[in-house]
Amino acid sequence: MRRLLFAGLVVLPLLSLRAQDVDIRPALNYERRGNYSAAAQAFRIVLQEAPGHLNALLGLERVLGHLGRQEEMSLPASLAVAARPDDPAVYGVAVRGWSAAHQPDSVRSLVDRWAAIEPGSEAPYREWGFAALTQRDRVAARRAYTLGRERLGSEALAGELAQLATVEGAYEEAALEWVTAIHQASGYRTAAIGGLSQASPRQRTAILARLEQSTDPVANQLAAGLALRWGEAARGFAALRLHLPPGDPGTAALLAFLEELRLANGNGILSAKAQTLELLADRPSEDRPRWLAEAAKVFAEAGQQTEARRVLARLASDPAASPGLAGSASISLIEVLMAEGRVEEADDRLRDLTTVGGIERNRLARQLAVAWIRAGNLDRAAVLVRADSSVEGLGILGRIALSRGDIRGAVEHLSAAGPFAGGRKDATDRIEALAVLQVIDQDSLPALGSAYLSLLRGDTTDAAMGMEQVAQSLPASKGGAELLVWAGRLRVAVGDIPGAEKNFRAVTEGANPAAVSAARFAMAEILVHRGSSAEAMEALEELILAHPSSAVAPQARRLLETLRRGVSGGKS
C-alpha cells in the first residue's frame, strides 16, 4: 500500500511551496517549550498547506524523534519529495523516514532518484547507511556503502566503511579503509586510532603488520600512532620513519607523533621522543638548533648519555645555532663527558670553549678538577683551580693537598674555605677532615693522602683500611683516635658494622675526650639502627653526663629525647 502511495506521489505536479505565506512560529514555540506533541501537530498543519516547506519538514522530524515516532515521517517526506523533486535536502529526510518505517524498497528507490540528481555525490549512500545504522541494521548499512562504492569508485565512502568495519571487529579491513579515509580528510586520523585501538592484543600484531607492509606514508603513520597507543613506542617510531615523506607533510607527521608522545605512557617514550626531535632537526628548518637542544636534553633524561653527547656535539658546532645556544650546548656536553668519565675529552672541550667565561667557566673548571681528582690526576686538578679564590675553589685545593699527604696545606685551604661552601655533604666532609687534621702534629702523611684519595675515588673500604693503618702509627691524642672514628664511619657507610664497632670500641677505651664522645655517639646510632633503644638511651645518657660540652652533646640530647618520646608513645 505504501509503495503504491509513493509511486502515485512521484507523479504529482509540482506543488507551490507557499513558504512565505505560512506561519511556522507557533510550531517553533511549542518545540521550544518542549510540547512536542503540539509542535508535531502544528508542523503538520504547515506541511498540509506547503508540503515542500523545508523548515517545517525538518522541525517535524525533530519533534517526532523526541517522541520516538520517526516512522511517521515517511508520508510527509514523500509529499515533500513530490513538491521539490530536485532538492537533495528533502531526499535525506525521506530516506531517514522510510528507513524508520522499515521499507527498504522505498529507501532504495529514493536513493536512486537522489543519485540521479547528484550523480557524483556520496550523500545518498552515506545518508542511507547512517539511517540504517540508526535502526541498528548493519547489513543494510553495508549494502548502502557498497552500492555507493560500486557507482562512485574504489575510494568512495572510505570513512563510512572504515567505521562500519571497526564496529564489526573487522580491524584489518578497517585499517586499510581508514588509510584511504585519512587521505581524503586528515581529521579521520583521530577516529581511526580511537577505533582501531580497541582491538584485542591478539589482533594488534596483524593490524600493525598490515600497515607496516604498506609503502603508503599514511599507513605507516597510522601504525606509528597505534603502536604508541599500545605501549610500543620504539616500534611506533620505526613505523613512522619507514616512508616518511619529504617537505611539509613529513614535518607535520613528525610533529603529530611528537604530540602523541607527550601524552603517552609506557616504556621507551623518552627514547622515541628524543629520536623524533633529532629527526625533526635533520629536516631543513630554522628551528634545527632548538630541536637538537631538546633532543639532547631528552636523550639525557632517558639515560642515553652517548646519544646526548653526540647530539650536543652537533649543536655546539652548528653554524645556525646562536652563540648562547651553542655555548649552552658546549657546557652541557662537558658535563655529560665528565659524567661518563671521559675527563680528558671534557678538559679538551673546556680549553676550546671561548664563548663562555667568568663565573660559568670557573664552575666548569671546579667540576672538572673534582673529576680529575677522582681520576687520580692531582696535578691537572690543581692547575684548574689554582687561581680560584672562591670558597669552593679553596675547598678543592684543600682536598688536593690532603690527597698528596700535605697536612699543613690541607688545613690552610680547608680552614680558609670555611664550613659553608658548596653543598651540605661537601661541607660536612670538609669539617670532618679538618677536625682530624688539626690534631695531627705532622706536616706530611703520604699514607693518609693515599687513603683519602681512595675515598674521593669511591673506594670507601680501601680508604677505611688505609686510615686504620695510619691511626696505628699515630698517638691517640695526636690524630690516631680521630682517624679510627673516621674509619669507623666509613665502614658504617659500606655496611661493615662489625668493623665499625671494633674501631669505635677501641676509641672509647682511650682518653681523648673529643674522639671518645664522637665514638660513643656513633655506637649509640648503631644501637638505634639495631633496634636496641634501651641500650642506646643508656649509652647516650652516659655520654651526656661524661662529656656535656662535647661537639656531639647537642646531637646526643636530641637523639635521646626522640628515643624517649618513642618509648613513651609505645607505652601509651
Q: Are residues 572 and 490 in the same domain?
A: no
Last residue of a domain, one of 117, 140, 156: 156
Q: Which residues sit opposite 406 in a β-bridge?
A: 444
212: in domain? no
Mind giving me the DSSP string for 468-498? HHHHHTS-GGGTHHHHHHHHHHHHHHTT-HH
Both 485 and 526 in one domain: the answer is no
81 with 15: CB under 8 angstroms?
no
pLDDT at 447: 95
Contact 427, 439 (CB under 8 A): no
What does pTM read for this prediction? Answer: 0.61
- 570 and 444 in a common domain: no
Domain count, the chain: 3
Residue 570 domain flag:
yes
405 backbone φψ class: left, alpha, beta (φ>0; ψ -120 to 50): left
Q: Which three cell numbers stand for residue 299?
A: 636523550
* 74 and 42, same domain (yes or no): yes
Phi and psi at residue 381, to the nearest 5°: -60, -45
52 shares its domain with 142: yes
Same domain as 141, residue 151 = yes
How far apart CA 226 and CA 204 sit, in angstroms, is: 9
- Phi and psi at 495, nearest 5°, equal 85, 10
123, 138, 156: which is the final residue of a domain?
156
Specify if 285 maps to a domain.
Answer: no
Residue 376 is which amino acid? Answer: G
End-of-domain residue from the set 137, 156, 175: 156
- 565 in the same domain as 480: no
Would you state the pLDDT for residue 1? 34
What CATH number is given to the structural domain containing 451? 1.25.40
Assess if residue 567 is contained within a domain: yes
Q: Report the CATH number at residue 11.
A: 1.25.40.10
Cell 550523480 belongs to 119
356 falls within a domain = no
Reading the block at residue 143, the C-alpha cell is 549494502
In a domain, 232, yes or no: no
Does 556 share its domain with 500?
A: no
The cell numbers describing 328, all together, are 649552552
Give 171: exposed, middle or buried? Use CB within 10 Å, 0-12, 13-18, 19+: buried
Is residue 365 domain-resident? no
Single out the residue of 46, 50, 102 nearest to residue 74, CA to CA: 102
Structure confidence at residue 267 (pLDDT): 78
Please provide the DSSP assignment of 127-177 as one string.
Answer: HHHHHHHHTT-HHHHHHHHHHHHHHH-TTTTHHHHHHHHHHHT-HHHHHHH
- Interhelix angle 305-316/323-339, nearest 10 degrees: 150
Q: Which residue, 177, 176, 186, 179, is CA-closest to 249?
A: 186
Q: What digits encode the pLDDT tens for the residues 104-159?
A: 999 999 999 999 999 999 999 999 999 999 989 999 999 999 999 999 999 999 99
How far lies 370's CA from each of 128, 211, 374, 413, in Å? 77, 53, 6, 15
Q: Please list the rounded mean pLDDT of every run of 10 residues in the chain (572 residues).
A: 35 40 88 95 94 94 94 93 93 93 92 94 94 92 94 94 94 95 93 94 93 94 94 94 92 92 85 94 87 88 87 84 77 82 87 75 89 92 89 90 93 82 71 87 93 92 95 90 93 93 85 84 90 90 88 90 76 48
Backbone Cα Rg of the chain? 41
**If you ran DSSP here, which 8-state letter would residue 13 be given?**
P
pLDDT value of position 465: 96
Do 75 and 128 belong together in one domain?
yes
- pLDDT tens readout for residues 520-546: 999 999 999 988 889 989 989 988 998
In a domain, 485, yes or no: yes
Chain-centroid distance, C-alpha 17: 61
Whole-angstrom distance, CA of residue 65 vs CA of residue 55? 15
DSSP 8-class letter at 10: T
Determine the Cα angle at 120 with ends 167 and 52, to 5°.
Answer: 90
What whole-number distance in Å separates Cα of residue 351 and Cα of residue 1?
97
Question: Count of H helices and E strands in the chain?
Answer: 33, 0
Beta strands in 352-437 (DSSP E): none
> Do residue 450 and residue 500 come from a single domain?
yes
Q: According to the model, what pLDDT value does residue 14 have?
A: 36
Residue with cell string 650546548: 329
Other CB atoms within 10 Å distance of the CB of residue 422? 17
Whether the CB-CB separation of 217 and 252 falls below 8 Å is answered with: no
Residue 457 domain boundaries: 439-511
First to last CA, the chain: 91
Together in a domain, 449 and 565: no
Instruction: For the beta carbon of residue 510, count every other beta carbon within 10 angstroms.
Output: 16
Q: What angle do CA 144, 150, 153 make, to 5 degrees?
A: 115
**Domain co-membership, 53 together with 111:** yes
